[in-house]
């Protein structure tokens, strides 16, 4: 039972356009959500997060939106740059239970 | 600030052999995680320590995997005996987060580069 799902294994966008990466979860106890970026041969690095008490968090070109009723979050990257090409993982945490779960990732390719 | 250190970076062993991985977390981080990442999948939590106590080891195959975090700092993960399906990248991460505490502040995890294990 995969509690965090990233249904698009890959996404390709043109430089300068918007990239939208999606993530769905099933566990209603999740109260904190994170996006990580991973380059080949490196460990994931933290990108942006959002608490369940918010519906939007913005950091420069990156914005995360949370729709609790739909159990859905999305990461928007505007404008997309070639250096954004990487695997993006969505992660969700149940703070009280001390559990965190990752999705399987979406490979983003930004074409010059 | 030094990051999470892991060694070795790569390891190739035959099935039924044993292997150990080492992790040195960021100084002062209470929580340490070991994840297994199989090719094409996301990291799967194996075990989570807070200081030197285990918070969650529900997904650790305890018949062959073991982990310890003596003195609440460095950690080792051992596999004995290894199986072909253990081939994966083993990631160590640490964070300042303290689970289960009132008003704990959610924080991100910092990952090491991982150890790529190939079992042949």
The answer, for A8 touching chain B at a CB cutoff of 8 Å, is no
The encoded tokens of residue B39 equal: 């090719």
The predicted pLDDT at position A104 comes to: 96
SS3 state at A84: helix
**Tell me: the pLDDT tens digits for A69-104?**
999 999 999 999 999 999 999 999 887 766 789 999
**Tell me: the pLDDT tens digits for B42-89?**
999 999 999 889 988 999 999 999 999 988 899 999 999 999 999 999
| B43 to A32: CB separation less than 8 angstroms, yes or no | no
Average pLDDT, chain A: 94
- What does the alpha-carbon distance between residue A18 and residue B77 come to, in Å, rounded to a whole number? 41
The pLDDT-based confidence of B97 (bands split at 50, 70, 90) is confident
The predicted pLDDT at position B2 comes to: 81
To the nearest whole Å, the CA of A87 is away from the closest chain B CA by 10
CB B83 within 8 A of CB B71: no
The answer, for A39 touching chain B at a CB cutoff of 8 Å, is no
Name the least confident of A1-5, A65-69, B111-115: A1-5
Contacts B88 to A, Cβ<8 Å: none
The encoded tokens of residue A32 equal: 């904190």
The answer, for A57 touching chain B at a CB cutoff of 8 Å, is no
Residue A5 pLDDT greater than 80, yes or no? yes
The predicted pLDDT at position B96 comes to: 86
CA distances from A48 to A76, B56, B103, B105 (A): 11, 25, 21, 15
| A42 to B113: CB separation less than 8 angstroms, yes or no | yes
To the nearest whole Å, the CA of A102 is away from the closest chain B CA by 6
Residue B98 pLDDT greater than 80, yes or no? no
Average pLDDT, chain B: 92
The encoded tokens of residue B35 equal: 């994840």
The pLDDT-based confidence of B111 (bands split at 50, 70, 90) is very high
Chain A with chain B: Cβ pairs closer than 8 A:
55
Mean pLDDT across A33-54: 94
Chain B residue whose CA is closest to A43: B113
The distance of Cα A72 from the centroid of its chain, to the nearest Å, equals 10
CB A16 within 8 A of CB A111: no
């Amino acid at each position: 039972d995969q509690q965090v799902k990233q249904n698009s294994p890959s996404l390709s966008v043109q430089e300068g356009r918007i990239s939208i990466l999606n993530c769905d979860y099933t566990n209603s106890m999740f109260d904190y959500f994170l996006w990580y970026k991973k380059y080949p041969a490196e460990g994931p690095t933290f990108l942006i997060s959002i608490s369940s008490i918010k519906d939007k968090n913005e950091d420069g070109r990156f914005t995360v939106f949370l729709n609790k009723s739909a159990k859905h979050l999305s990461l928007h990257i505007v404008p997309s740059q070639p250096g954004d090409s990487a695997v993006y993982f969505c992660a969700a945490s149940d703070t009280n239970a001390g559990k965190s779960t990752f999705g399987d990732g979406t490979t983003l390719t930004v074409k010059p | 600030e030094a990051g999470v250190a892991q060694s070795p970076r790569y390891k190739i062993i035959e099935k039924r052999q044993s292997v150990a991985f080492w992790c040195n977390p960021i100084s002062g981080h209470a929580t340490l995680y070991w994840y297994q990442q199989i090719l094409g999948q996301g990291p799967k939590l194996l075990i989570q320590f807070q200081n030197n106590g285990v918070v969650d080891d529900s997904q650790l195959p305890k018949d062959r995997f073991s982990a310890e975090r003596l003195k609440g700092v460095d950690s080792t993960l051992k596999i004995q005996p290894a199986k072909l399906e253990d081939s994966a990248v083993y990631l160590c991460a640490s964070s300042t987060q303290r689970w289960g505490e009132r008003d704990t502040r959610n924080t991100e995890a910092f990952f090491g580069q991982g150890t790529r294990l190939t079992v042949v």
